[in-house]
Amino acid sequence: MTFELALIGGPWARRLAPRRAWLEELPWDERLPDDVGDARVVWTRTAFNEYASAAAFAEIATLLLACGAPIDLVAAAGDFVVDEIVHTEAAARLAAVLGGAIALDVDLGKLVRPPTADEPLLRAAELIVRTSCVGEALTVPVLKVARDVAGSPLVTGALAHIVADESAHAQLGGWFLDWADARLDDAARAHLGRVAGRALRDLAPNGDAASSGASSGCGDGLGRIDCATFASTLAAGAARHVARPLAARGIEIPPEDLAAVGAT
Class of domain 36-260: mainly alpha
Which pLDDT score is estimated for 80?
A: 98
The dihedral region occupied by 42, where left means phi > 0, alpha psi between -120 and 50, and beta the remainder, is alpha
pLDDT-derived band at 220, boundaries 50, 70, 90: confident
Per-residue pLDDT, 143: 97
State pLDDT tens for residues 30-77: 999 988 989 999 999 999 999 999 999 999 999 999 999 999 999 999
Helices (H), 67-211: 71-97, 120-128, 137-148, 153-180, 186-203
DSSP conformation class of 70? -
Higher pLDDT, 133 or 2: 133
Q: pLDDT tens digit string along 167-213?
A: 999 999 999 999 999 999 999 999 999 999 999 999 987 644 433 44
Task: Report the C-alpha gap between 64 and 52 in whole angstroms.
Answer: 18
Report pLDDT digits (tens) over 126-148. Answer: 999 999 999 999 999 999 999 99
Helix (H/G/I), strand (E/B), else coil: 221: strand
Asked whether 129 and 246 are in contact (CB, 8 A), the reply is yes
Q: For helices 120-128 and 153-180, what crossing angle results, to 10°?
A: 150
